[in-house]
Chains A and B, each alone.
Chain A
Amino acid sequence: MSTSTAIRVRGLRKTYAGVAAVDGLDLDVAHGEVFALLGPNGAGKTTTVEILEGYRRRDAGEVSVLGADPARPDPGWRARIGIVLQSSGGHDELSVQELVHHFAGYYPDARDPDEVIAAVGLDEKRATRARHLSGGQRRRLDVALGILGSPALLFLDEPTTGFDPEARREFWSLITALADGGTTIILTTHYLDEAEHLAGRVGVITGGRIVALDTPDRLGGRHHDQAVVQWTEDGRQRTERTAEPTALVTALAHRLGGEVPGLAVSRPTLEDVYLRLIGEPAQTLEVVS
């Protein structure tokens, strides 16, 4: 059964001991999209993602993932989904090569294990046992096992936690390559630069609901936000918010006679917008609608 959306969620609800972790969440993700789910710890991110992955049962709502209900997962459905869980561990005594070759046997349409090992940059660690990998290398092994079955839909739950900046950049190019190949990707992350770099759309979840949903550059009305112009005048740092930064800078240049000392023009970063969104959910709902 093929549907136009990879993921469709309506009115999803999940409570733990009377407390709603997910409280009426709606979401659509199109095929081929890279979608990032942001939110503070305890906002309902992992609960939502694990319901979509088939790990947890929902209390209410409709969920369709690749045209099937994840509450009744069958092996054919699992073969089309790749999962990189938040925590990685286990299989400590086996080498990268043994594990990747072994897991490849689970999938009817597995990628070439050696190619996958190379793609995640573990070529030099093929013979190393999982126990002896660094945190970042172990995470890359997780990713290798997640993408091994050529999934149509890949879940990445905080995939780059513990990566150094260089490893993170390499990981981003790997994910971009998968997305270019048509893989739908659901990403949760605490790194806003990661969401901005990878995701076509970003959803902010807090209190078990999506409070903002847009492209990274428009999230929370970011593109309407005023620019902040900073400069130095009379030995003091000056700051002014304006909807017309070009006019302000031109005026400054005229007034200060050419080059403006200490000039900086900035827009709110995704992080600024995000922090505002999770602090004031009610207000942001208006902005979005």
Chain B
Amino acid sequence: MSTAVSPARIAMSRASLETRSYFRERDSLIFSFLFPVIMLGIFAVAFGGEDVGESSGPPIDFAQYFLPGMVASGIMLVSFQTLAISLAIEREDGTLKRLRGTPMPPVSYFLGKVGMILVVGLSQIVLLLAVAALAFGVDLPTEPAKWLTFAWCYVLGTAGGAVLGIAYSSVPRSAKSASAVVVGPLLVLQFISGVFFVFSDLPSWLQNVASVFPLKWLAQGMRSVFLPEHFEELEASGSWQHGPTALILSLWLIVGLVICVRTFRWQRRDDG
């Protein structure tokens, strides 16, 4: 049987393969897909009933306050963490080397990963919002403008997280150490980026450190979507800062792309 080979069709086929693999892998399912949902549940149960933001207007429940942080965190887990760990493993166990020995176009491989992250990421957010709304009574925004903000934050955050994850996958020295080397720093970043508690409560020097990295901006962008308008005053800068957010997320996307193009390897460092 002789058929024309199209990179687009191979990319679709890879996306489907990658998505199936992802959902069959129990570790990734719990620690990147369900993690934000579990965290939201714990926060809502632990701090449920406590109010935030009474200084500027009607207060909201803790569960609602944490939802944007969990959305931002979930985006980074699914894009950055999933790709950094899975690529480190695929490089070590020879998956990438085997693929390189076939006529599969490299672009199809990367598009396949992107497709998988879109499917996984969007299903995670749908699940997270559904749990927040149905189980914890969080009010979701109805204004189209807010969902537009959500859309560009999601796209820039996911794309940036994905390329940075691919770039970072060369850092772990082995597949065994990959989880620790990836999860550790990301956990620190989550703590200083205002994902687990109120960002403006952090000392200003720590706020400045966090402001270098994309997660702080992504979380802030998501707060502008899911929190009431009067929460804008509670931001450290007193503004949602959509301009700087778009700029910094785009810069990280470009930096990540450049690092990927320059450093991506199909084989281990000690092989070839």
Contacts and interface: CB of A to CB of B under 8 A. Distances in A.
A83 interface: yes
A32 to B, nearest CB: 22
A75 B102 CA distance: 8
B98 interface: yes
Contacts of A102: 13-14, 17
Contacts of A50: 272
A117 to B, nearest CB: 15
Contact of A78 (B21, B103, B272): B103
Contacts of A92: 21
Contacts of A91: 21, 95
Contact of B1 (A75, A76, A81, A112): A112
Size class of A's contact patch?
A: 20 to 34
A105 B13 contact: yes
B4 interface: yes
Contacts of B95: 89-91
B100 interface: yes
B94 A107 contact: no
Given A50-B272, A93-B24, A106-B10, A149 B103 contact: yes
A106 B100 contact: no
B102 to A, nearest CB: 5
Contacts, number: 79
Interface in A41-85: 50, 53-57, 75-76, 78-79, 81, 83, 85
B90 interface: yes
Given A105-B13, A112-B1, A93 B267 contact: no
Given A105-B13, A106-B5, A85 B102 contact: no
B101 A78 contact: yes
A88 interface: yes
Interface string A252-265: 00000000000000
A28 to B, nearest CB: 23
A55 B98 contact: no
B104 interface: yes
B2 interface: yes
A67 B49 CA distance: 74
Contact of A85 (B10, B14, B25, B94): B94
Nearest to B91: A90
B191 to A, nearest CB: 32
A107 B17 contact: no
Interface in A228-276: none
B106 to A, nearest CB: 10
A286 interface: no
23 contacts: A57-B272, A75-B105, A76-B103, A78-B103, A81-B101, A83-B101, A85-B101, A87-B94, A88-B94, A88-B98, A90-B94, A90-B95, A90-B98, A93-B20, A93-B21, A94-B17, A98-B20, A102-B14, A106-B102, A106-B104, A108-B2, A108-B4, A110-B1
Q: Which are the 8 A-B pairs with shortest beta-carbon distances?
A: A90-B95, A89-B93, A93-B24, A75-B103, A83-B101, A78-B103, A79-B103, A56-B272
